[in-house]
Structure 1
Amino acid sequence: MGRGPLLTEVEVGMVLALRDHGFTHRAIAEHVGRSTKAIRTVIDQREGYGSNFKGRKPAKLIGRELRLLIREASKTGLSARSLATSLDIDASLRTCQRRLQGSENMEYVKRKHMPMLKKSHKIARLEHVKKYLKDPPFWPGIIWSDEKRFNLDGPDGLQYYWHDLRKEPDTYFTRRNGGGGVMVWGAFSSSGLSELAFLTGNQNSVCYCDTLGNYLFPFAHEHYGQHQNLTRAR
Structure 2
Amino acid sequence: MGRASTLSLDERGQIKEGYYEFPASSGRIGTRKSSGRPGKMNDGGKRGILRTTSSSMISINEIRRTCGIDASKITVWRTLDKCSNIVQSRMKKCPQLTQRHNDERLCWAKIFMRCNWEKARLLRVIFSDEKKFNLDGPDGCHSD
**Category of TM-score, reference length = shorter chain:** 0.3 to 0.5
Higher helix share: 2
The alignment's TM-score, normalised by the length of structure 2, stands at 0.45
Higher strand share: 1
Specify which structure has the bigger relative contact order, considering alpha-carbon pairs within 8 angstroms and separated by 6 or more residues. 1
